[in-house]
Structure 1
Amino acid sequence: MVWNLPNTLTATRILLIPFFVGFSYLPGRWGFLLSAIFFSLAAITDWADGYIARKQKLLTQFGRFFDPVADKLLVISALVLLVASQRAPFLPVLIILAREVTVMALRERLAGLGQRLPVSTTGKWKTGFQMTAIIMLLVQEGLWDIPFQWPGLLCLYISAALTIVSGYRYFRDSWPKLQTGN
């Protein structure tokens, strides 16, 4: 297996998860601020590894498999943390988590059939709102006395709505392939 920068960024994203979760347990405002910083670094690696891999044609089997796994681990960890710390409501988080796991399973099934499920524009917007929501809700007390809770919740609900739309589209577009088994 060839190891490259995108693979390193994917592995780094997974390694950052315990840090951003752990920092959230520090007392006071600084714990969640450090958590948001480490989550932001992990989110940047999500964008960077894909960009670099496509631009420099560094696509690998490791990246194809572990990039979405790293993304799901990051998002699931963050959303569970936000619900547990009462920074996010359960229902939109449940919708997002259910879609993430279901679409990941769909991608795996299609891969077993030799098919791919490309990321949609709606899915990219969903991810953007989702990452923004998580960062804002981690620092919801605000920086420089600017509160982020309400904008963070708005982004979370927008992300949940886009989650439903993109999930529906993925299944609609994949249904014929699943029915024929090829």
Structure 2
Amino acid sequence: MNLANRITVARILLVPVIIFFLLVKVKFPDIKLQEFSITYNQIIAALIFIVAASTDSLDGYIARKRKLVTNLGKLLDPLADKLLVSAVLVSLVEMNKLSAWIVIVIISREFAVTGLRQIALLEGIVMAADKWGKWKTAVQITAIISLLLNNFPFNFIDFPFDQVVSWLAAIITLYSGYVYFIKNKHVINYDNI
């Protein structure tokens, strides 16, 4: 297994570690500053999430730069991204930090686009991510980090950045899915429907 694929596998292996710190009650004291409170568990989970999310660009860069692009990497990379984001989003719902409808929108879009990609693959077509897909990912990651950190530092100025960016993530996710389907509608063979 090459370096790029090892990084991708490491991202997948970090998912249960993040979930452990989010959902299993480990006895650490809370950190309290004025009206702001956060658990060490959340800080640890957020730091691991940031490391895991940052490896997404790294593994792709290494694979392209060193000509290490493999079919395994093409399969594992999007799977790792979806596992990481979906698992943390579901955990945030469990923690009452995020509305379930936002998570349903995001995960539904991912299933729909993955299905379209599978149809394209059967036709021998490789569908690359576009700029809206990249924006979607960036905004989702920003929303997750702000939720994991209890809206820090925006809570000190009483601005609900975590909620605003969560709504923005849902809107951009929907729009990017729409654009993806419109742009690739030629992939769907209507004769077989």
TM-score (norm 1): 0.90
Contact between 2:154 and 2:160, CA under 8 Å: does it hold in 1? no
Residue 93 of structure 2 corresponds to residue 95 of structure 1? no
Q: Is the contact made by 1:99 and 1:167 (CA closer than 8 Å) also made in structure 2?
A: yes
- Where in structure 1 do 4 or more consecutive aligned residues deviate above 3 Å? 141-149
Percent sequence identity over aligned pairs:
37
Provide closer, same or farther for how the CA distance between residues 111 and 35 of structure 1 changes in structure 2, counting only shifts above 3 A: same
- Cα distance, 1:48 vs. partner? 0.8
Larger Rg over CA atoms? 2
**Distance apart, 1:13 and its partner CA:** 0.4
Alignment of 1:35-46 (within 5 A): 35-46=45-56
Q: Which of the numbers 6, 11, 20 marks the counterpart of 1:8? A: 6
Secondary structure (helix, strand or coil) at the match of 1:114 reads coil
| Residue 83 (1) aligns with residue 93 (2) | yes
CA RMSD of aligned residues (A): 2.1
Q: What is the alpha-carbon distance in structure 2 between the residues aligned to residue 53 and residue 9 of structure 1?
A: 10
Q: What is the aligned counterpart of 2:188 among 170, 178, 181?
A: 178
> Structure 1 residue 59 and structure 2 residue 69: aligned?
yes
Structure 1 gaps of 5+ residues are: none
| Cα distance in 2 for residues equivalent to 1:92 and 1:37 | 23
- In the TM superposition, residue 144 of structure 1 has moved relative to its aligned partner by 11
Does 2:167 align with 1:157?
yes
| Paired position in structure 1 for 2:17 | 19
Letter in 1 for 2:18: F
2:182 is the alignment partner of 1:168: no
Distance 1:112 1:92 in 2: 31
| One-letter amino acid matched to 1:157 | W
| Equivalent residue in structure 2 for 1:31, among 15, 27, 41 | 41
Distance 2:157 2:61 in 1: 32
The number of residue pairs the alignment matches comes to: 179
Q: Which has the higher strand share?
A: 2
Paired residue type of 1:53:
A
SS of the residue aligned with 1:119? coil
Alpha-carbon displacement from aligned partner over 1:56-106 (angstroms, at most 9, x marks no partner): 221001100111011111111011001110111112221111101111121
Q: CA offset at residue 150 of structure 1?
A: 2.0
Among candidates 50, 69, 83, match of residue 79 of structure 2: 69
- 1: CA distance between counterparts of 2:174 and 2:188? 20
Using structure 2 for the length normalisation, give the TM-score.
0.85
SS of the equivalent of 2:188 reads helix
The separation in 2 between residues aligned to 1:153 and 1:50, in whole angstroms, is 30
